[in-house]
Amino acid sequence: MNKLAIVTLLALAALVRPLAAEENPFLGPFKTPFDTPPFDRIQLAHYKPAMLEGMKRQQAEIDAITADPKAPTFENTIVALDMSGQLLGEVGNVFYSLLTAATSREMQDLANELAPLLAAHQDNIALNEKLFARVKAVYDRRARLKLDAVQRYLLENTYKGFVRSGALLDARQKERLREINKEHSLLALKFSDNVLAETNSSYIVLDKAEDLAGLPAGVVSEAAETAKAMGLEGKWVFTAQKTSWIPFLQYSPRRDLREKLFSCFFMRGDRDNDKDNKAVLQRLLVLREERYRLLGYRTPADYYIEPRMAGTPARVDAFLRTLWTPALARAKAERDEMQRIADSEGGGFRLQPWDWWYYAEKLRKAKYDLDDSALRPYFKLENVQQGMFALAGKLWGIRFVERKDIPVYHPDVRVAEVHDRDGSLLGILYMDFFPRDNKQGGAWSGAFRGTFYRDGKRVVPFATLVGNFTKPTPGTPSLLSLDEVSTSFHEFGHALNTLFTDSRYRSNFAPQDSVELPSQMMEHWVLEPEVLKLYARHYRTGEVIPAPLVEKIRNSALFNQGFETVEFLASCFLDMAWHNLESAQNVNVTRFEEKVMDELGLIPEILPRWKSTYFTHIHGGYEAGYYSYIWSEQLDCDAFEAFRETSLFDRRTAESFRRNILARLGTEDAMVLYKRFRGREPRIEPLLKKRGLI
């Protein structure tokens, strides 16, 4: 063990007194159904001791590997390393899941306290020379080992992981890398904390009923409930949450208020206050540039994209530009149509970003006689949830059974056990749908526990599905927009990936630009008539959504696709531009973003979906990877064609998708798996067709 590792362990020992298992639920049997996390017993004070104990145990496991007198083998080195750190992983999965879904100032402070310790612990493993020597010894003999495809993939990626983490650096470079990793971990947390704080403090308060003109009753009711929760009863509050600001921008004729609320959303992290993220972002990028120069890469983008399906930044850029030109042309045509509406009403102004949703809604009504508020009554949250379950049942024969005896971390959370066609337990699904002020915005899926095999038995996973969907109000259930319906199916696809995964090992090496395939695949069924019958029922009458309304939805499928594609691609280009910089030192964040958009030719009526100061993807796992969504969309659009070539619920196709993609993604090469399912590489034409670009 190196000197720094010893110092770190001594520091950990000094920070915490030993806790008996009965005092800390993480350090003993959970005694819950299926060993699910005992949220009713977990307290804030339990996380730190359990994390420190987890680090201590994993370090002991690493020491045992390096001290093994036997020659390095796949089992005693690669598998032993993969199986190490189980306690740390279990505690970390719970803590960091709740840090985004049910946080507090105290949790954020603890995360900042733990970040440098975890960074040092991870570096102690990644930069352990004895451990790397054993891994390399196995890797160098890989051609002579009788390994199957999954074992080879684990070995190759384990070795590459060490190299990409600095194992080949000299002592001075390793020491600098540790310093970078420590500072970077703290800044990444600060960036997210600032975004959450800015989101919670960004809202407008209305106290005159006439200011609510044009807004649907449900939107007004939700704003009144938000105001009441803030101690502003009798008023209406509209926030920077999508479920609040987008409906307001869609329906309010008050252009001044639309601009004011849009600014609340768009200026987050860019107000030159104590939560401003410009300097934080710049420092994060400077650290990344130094880190990856140390590792031999020209830019961070070269590092991040190397192990992905795309392979190089140049290939990403070429792919994005294939989409950009037709998408921008379509967006300009959409803008011109809306500008004509504004002019015909005597507006006397050029459209601005806060006008787009309002005039797009007018255009949709004019062209397709389709009103978002007319759709919501058919998309009751509970019905949408049951529709997702029914679809999964039709495709794979799985069943969802609600459990009310499994502890949850918030009263909003619902839990279901998931059974396979043969009745065996696949896993547990936690669902948390509504926004809270202690919850990050957006939607995501993760896991309180992943799956692997222990003593020959599959450890069942605990998947999560988290959203910020429209909340119920007194007398009205949660009624979703069509976008929220698609989002729920999307995150359900991620959860199915977690539930279906059948891996012998704990490590998962799915390329970042493949992980959206399972989620985006599920979105394709949302508007199919046979699927709509499963969930789209009027919340009052129970009437299935009428066929003429479904036809209107399908006819409008390409509506506003120019806007949606352009605002998304603009963020992809922005992400890549930041990570392709050879130096972010002294770069002005605002001017850099403007320069990138100007060079793209982005029209002023559209802004990037994610502004740099709240672009959490670019430091939270999607570094130089926001393009992954649309790269994966190329895969899922092509994959769904396999169902169109057979039938929407074809069991053979569904089982092949499960066996080759959902169960195996991250355990073998992603393109090999895709070709095993599809029989060939993906084609881009289905993606272009879906987005109306051909």
Locate the domains of the chain by residue range. Answer: 3-168, 202-266, 376-555
Cα–Cα distance, 585 to 486 (Å, whole number)? 40
Task: Classify residue 3 as exposed, middle or buried by CB count within 10 Å of its CB (0-12, 13-18, 19+).
Answer: exposed
- What are the residues whose beta carbons fall under 8 Å from the beta carbon of 503, sequence distance 6 or more? 150, 451, 452, 453, 664, 666, 667
For residues 371 and 389, the answer to whether their CB atoms sit within 8 Å is no
Q: What is the mean pLDDT of residues 290-298?
A: 96
Model confidence at 214: pLDDT above 60:
yes
Name the DSSP class of 546. Answer: P
**Residues found in the chain:** 694
Half-sphere exposure of 13 (CA within 13 A, CB side): 9
Show the CA angle centred on residue 32, arms to residues 29 and 37, nearest 5°: 80
Give SS3 for 390: helix
pLDDT, the chain, mean: 94
Task: Classify residue 574 as exposed, middle or buried by CB count within 10 Å of its CB (0-12, 13-18, 19+).
Answer: buried
26-43 tens-digit pLDDT? 999 999 999 999 999 999
CB-CB neighbours of 386 under 10 Å: 15
Of the options 1.10.1370.40, 1.10.10.10, 3.40.50.10420, 3.30.360.10, the CATH number for the domain spanning 376-555? 1.10.1370.40
Model confidence at 476: pLDDT above 70:
yes
For residues 469 and 431, the answer to whether their CB atoms sit within 8 Å is no
Name the DSSP class of 204. Answer: E
pTM (two decimals):
0.90
- pLDDT value of position 543: 96
DSSP structure string for 461-498: PEEEEE--PPPPBTTB--B--HHHHHHHHHHHHHHHHH
Cα–Cα distance, 251 to 248 (Å, whole number)? 6
CATH class as words, domain 3-168 = mainly alpha
For residues 417 and 223, the answer to whether their CB atoms sit within 8 Å is no
Q: Which of 493, 609, 483, 467 is nearest to 553 (CA)?
A: 483
Q: Which of 623, 649, 639, 631 is nearest to 676 (CA)?
A: 639
Which element (helix H / strand E) includes 374? helix 372-375
Residue 17's pLDDT band, with cuts at 50, 70 and 90, is very low
Q: What is the mean pLDDT of residues 500-506?
A: 96
112-168 tens-digit pLDDT? 999 999 999 999 999 999 999 999 999 999 999 999 999 999 999 999 999 999 999
Model confidence at 7: pLDDT above 70:
no
- pLDDT value of position 20: 46
CB-CB neighbours of 231 under 10 Å: 7
Cα–Cα distance, 159 to 142 (Å, whole number)? 11
Q: Which of 535, 437, 510, 491 is nearest to 667 (CA)?
A: 510
Evaluate the CA torsion angle 471, 473, 479, 483 in order and state its sign: negative
- pLDDT value of position 13: 41
Instruction: Indicate the residue type of 510.
Output: A
- What are the residues whose beta carbons fall under 8 Å from the beta carbon of 658, sequence distance 6 or more? 396, 500
Task: Classify residue 519 as exposed, middle or buried by CB count within 10 Å of its CB (0-12, 13-18, 19+).
Answer: buried
230-259 tens-digit pLDDT? 999 999 999 999 889 999 999 999 999 999
Q: What is the mean pLDDT of residues 598-604?
A: 97
Tokens 């609510």 belong to 212
Q: What is the mean pLDDT of residues 563-573?
A: 98
Q: Which of 14, 36, 34 is nearest to 447 (CA)?
A: 36
181-213 tens-digit pLDDT? 999 999 999 999 999 999 999 999 999 999 999
491 catalytic per annotation: yes
Task: Classify residue 279 as exposed, middle or buried by CB count within 10 Å of its CB (0-12, 13-18, 19+).
Answer: exposed
Indicate which residue of 361, 491, 633, 668 is catalytic. Answer: 491
- pLDDT value of position 22: 55
Model confidence at 289: pLDDT above 80:
yes
- Beta-bridged to residue 665, according to DSSP, are 668
Q: CA-CA distances (angstroms) from residue 80 to 62, 158, 542?
A: 8, 12, 55
Give SS3 for 201: coil
Tokens 């509970």 belong to 382
Give SS3 for 311: coil
